Amino acid sequence: MDTIANAFYLYYQDKGTFFISGTGQLIPGTGHGWFHCKGVTYNTTSIAEGLANTGYVSNVISDPSGDTSCANTSHNYMFYYNDISKKASTYAWLENPTTAQTSTATTAIDQTVVQGSSTNIGGYKMNYAKTISN
């Protein structure tokens, strides 16, 4: 997660935005959503591929669980930018988190990502968040 957050930080410093054009799957071409998912409707490049293709990481990073689902029931990495707070975060579902790690999720910038049931849109049950400072 630190590698992902650092890559986004460096990308933002160079480009003035967190969004890698044409990546992501939530909103057409804006780089939101499941980190590894290619947009089912909108984009042909995942956020993970976008970071690698632009040189901000050396290889495509994938969730250690091997989960490649783009469904709300999965617990793989996510990236989200909050237009109101102007902050970005990466999110994960850790299998054996510490109390310190789960406390990051309760102070995350987008509580809809960390609350709710895993089958509920807007409630992805992430238990770890890494906010990226710009």
Tokens 């997660």 found at: 1
The number of CA neighbours under 13 Å toward the Cβ of 102 is 8
Contact 23, 49 (CB under 8 A): yes
Q: Residue 28 is inside which H or E element, if any?
A: none
Edge-first strand listing for the sheet containing 33-34: 33-34, 78-82, 87-92, 128-132
Per-residue pLDDT band for 121 (boundaries 50, 70, 90) equals very low
Query: What pTM does this model have?
Result: 0.79
Residue-wise pLDDT for 37-47, tens only, equals 776 666 678 88
CB 8 within 8 A of CB 20: no
pLDDT digits (tens, 9 = 90+) for 50-73: 999 999 999 988 877 777 667 655
